[in-house]
């Protein structure tokens, strides 16, 4: 095994990616992982460290949808000039997993947040922030993107033990089977267990509301004072802007994606992801008379029967119904969404005309 290969494996490189690169006729010499993105500038990471790159004109020409652009965690094939400071990205290797959100301000477009993570660590504080519905939404989003969810309930030092116990039983009662770890940065409950659970070569992405303690946890994992989060600063006459690295390798070899832009995190749900956190409802659904039962009014619907018998929780079911609706919307093609917008535009125009006539 070449030295470069073993070094890349420490960044998450594997046989699947090697196969994809080979299919594109790209040598291992060209591959690198995206450590951060800052507008049109990408910070890449390979066995020799970080370097800057841009997308080639041809790549931009052929990939116009936002989700086709590389994000932190992606693997790309890049051409590096001899003394040229920017690498040129020609190819992005297909993602195994991803995490996306609604674009800020955009209605239909989704935006990639991170790619190729093995686990997404959903962080909620058990003090004020705890919200079962939001947790379910995060779980749906994570599973839709193909990664494995892991839940942290932080700030356990601020609540009485019975509050935490009640939250944990609410989580289980909702059919959520993901691991849940109570943690406190103050009492240090759960910190060592979290560290033990982070495996070398695996990529972890942290998500959660602002203020729940993500940065504190990540700083703890990095170990304060280490240089790993150091910015790659400007060189020469300030030709480059500073790009803060978001993909960090911990001392134990685990890779962590720390996302600064999580504040406007929207939830993009899709049907595939629903299975995981609504196992109970899905299991019942297999007993419905019709295979495509929508569990709204059909005869022989096992889900509605369970609901009226009180075997499933009303609120849990409503959550399921809402997410299924959202999933349908996000699965509509772009054209369908455009048509919907156009029809709405026409409708507005006709209403205006009618108003003038009166």
Point out which span in 49-57, 64-72, 74-82, 281-289 binds Zn ion (CB under 5 A): 281-289
88 binds ligand GTP (CB under 6 A): no
Q: Judged by CB under 6 A, which of 26, 91, 185, 319 binds ligand GTP?
A: 185
- Residue count at the site for Zn ion (CB under 5 A)? 5
Q: Which does 293 bind (CB under 5 to 8 A by kind): ligand GTP, Zn ion, none?
A: Zn ion
284 binds Zn ion (CB under 5 A): no
182 binds ligand GTP (CB under 6 A): no
Residue 208 assigned as binding residue: yes
Residue 154 assigned as binding residue: yes
171 binds Zn ion (CB under 5 A): no
**What 8-state DSSP symbol labels residue 327?**
H
Identify whether the C-beta of residue 152 lies closer than 8 Å to the C-beta of residue 221. no
For the chain, the C-alpha Rg in angstroms (whole number) is: 23
Q: Which does 14 bind (CB under 5 to 8 A by kind): Zn ion, ligand GTP, none?
A: none
In the region spanning residues 286 to 315, those forming contacts with Zn ion, defined by CB under 5 A, are 288, 293, 295, 301, 303
Q: What count of Cα atoms within 13 Å lies in the side-chain half-sphere of residue 329?
A: 16
Identify whether the C-beta of residue 266 lies closer than 8 Å to the C-beta of residue 101. yes
**What 8-state DSSP symbol labels residue 342?**
H
157 binds ligand GTP (CB under 6 A): yes
**Residue number, 210 or 296, with CB nearest to ligand GTP:** 210
Residue of 96, 81, 75 whose CA lies nearest to 21: 75
Q: Which does 184 bind (CB under 5 to 8 A by kind): Zn ion, ligand GTP, none?
A: ligand GTP
Burial class (CB in 10 A: 0-12, 13-18, 19+), 62: exposed
- Looking at beta carbons, which pairs linking 12-18 to residues 24 or more positions away fall under 8 Å? 12/116, 12/201, 12/202, 12/203, 12/255, 13/75, 16/96, 17/75, 17/93
Q: CB of residue 189 vs ligand GTP: minimum separation in angstroms?
A: 9
Tell me the per-residue interface mask from 245 to 274 with ligand GTP, x by CB under 6 A, - otherwise. -----------------x------------
Q: CB of residue 300 vs Zn ion: minimum separation in angstroms?
A: 8
Contacts of 307 (CB under 8 A, 6+ apart): 314, 317
Tell me the per-residue interface mask from 250 to 279 with Zn ion, x by CB under 5 A, - otherwise. ------------------------------
179 binds ligand GTP (CB under 6 A): no
How many angstroms separate the CA atoms of 320 and 278, rounded?
A: 7
Point out which span in 180-188, 232-240, 268-276, 339-347 binds ligand GTP (CB under 6 A): 180-188
158 binds ligand GTP (CB under 6 A): yes
186 binds ligand GTP (CB under 6 A): yes
Measured N-to-C along each axis, helices 314-331 and 132-144 cross at an angle, to the nearest 10 degrees, of: 40
How many angstroms separate the CA atoms of 117 and 201, rounded?
A: 10
Q: CB of residue 248 vs ligand GTP: minimum separation in angstroms?
A: 14
Point out which span in 95-103, 143-151, 209-217, 325-333 binds ligand GTP (CB under 6 A): 209-217
Contacts of 208 (CB under 8 A, 6+ apart): 122, 123, 124, 129, 138, 152, 214, 262
Dihedrals phi, psi of 354, to nearest 5 degrees? -60, -40
Measured N-to-C along each axis, helices 161-173 and 132-144 cross at an angle, to the nearest 10 degrees, of: 50
Residues that bind Zn ion (CB under 5 A): 288, 293, 295, 301, 303
Residues annotated as binding site for Zn(2+)?
288, 293, 295, 301
Residues annotated as binding site for GTP?
154-157, 208-216
Residues that bind ligand GTP (CB under 6 A): 154-155, 157-158, 184-186, 210-216, 262
């Amino acid at each position: 095994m070449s030295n470069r290969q073993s070094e890349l494996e420490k960044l998450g490189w594997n046989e699947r990616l090697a196969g994809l690169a080979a299919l594109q006729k790209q040598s291992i010499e060209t591959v690198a992982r995206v450590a951060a993105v800052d507008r049109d500038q990408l910070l890449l990471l390979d066995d020799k460290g970080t370097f800057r790159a841009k997308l080639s004109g041809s790549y931009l020409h052929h990939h116009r949808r936002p989700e086709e652009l590389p994000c932190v965690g992606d693997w790309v094939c890049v051409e590096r000039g001899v003394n040229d400071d920017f690498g040129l990205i020609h190819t992005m290797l297909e993602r195994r997993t991803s995490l996306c959100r609604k674009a800020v301000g955009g209605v239909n477009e989704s935006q990639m947040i991170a790619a190729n993570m093995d686990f997404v660590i959903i962080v909620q504080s058990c003090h004020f922030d705890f919200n079962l519905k939001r947790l379910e939404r995060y779980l749906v989003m994570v599973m839709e993107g193909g990664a494995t969810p892991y839940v942290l309930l932080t700030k356990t030092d601020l609540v009485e033990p019975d509050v935490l116990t009640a939250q944990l039983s609410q989580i289980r009662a909702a059919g959520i089977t993901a691991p849940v770890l109570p943690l406190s940065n103050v009492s240090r409950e759960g910190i060592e267990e979290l560290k033990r659970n982070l495996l070398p070569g695996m990529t972890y992405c942290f998500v959660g509301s602002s203020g729940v303690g993500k940065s504190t946890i990540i700083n703890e994992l990095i170990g304060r004072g280490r240089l790993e989060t150091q910015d790659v600063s400007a060189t020469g006459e300030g030709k480059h802007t500073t790009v803060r690295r978001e993909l960090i390798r911990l001392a134990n070899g685990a890779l962590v994606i720390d996302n600064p832009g999580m504040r406007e995190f929207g939830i993009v749900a899709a049907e595939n992801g629903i299975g995981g956190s609504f196992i109970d409802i899905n299991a019942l659904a297999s007993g419905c008379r019709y295979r495509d039962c929508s569990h709204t009014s059909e005869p022989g619907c096992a889900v509605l029967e369970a609901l009226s018998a009180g075997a499933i929780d009303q609120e849990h079911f409503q959550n399921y119904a809402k997410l299924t609706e959202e999933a349908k919307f996000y699965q509509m093609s772009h054209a369908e969404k455009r048509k919907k917008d156009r029809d709405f535009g026409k409708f507005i125009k006709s209403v205006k005309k009618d108003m003038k006539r009166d």
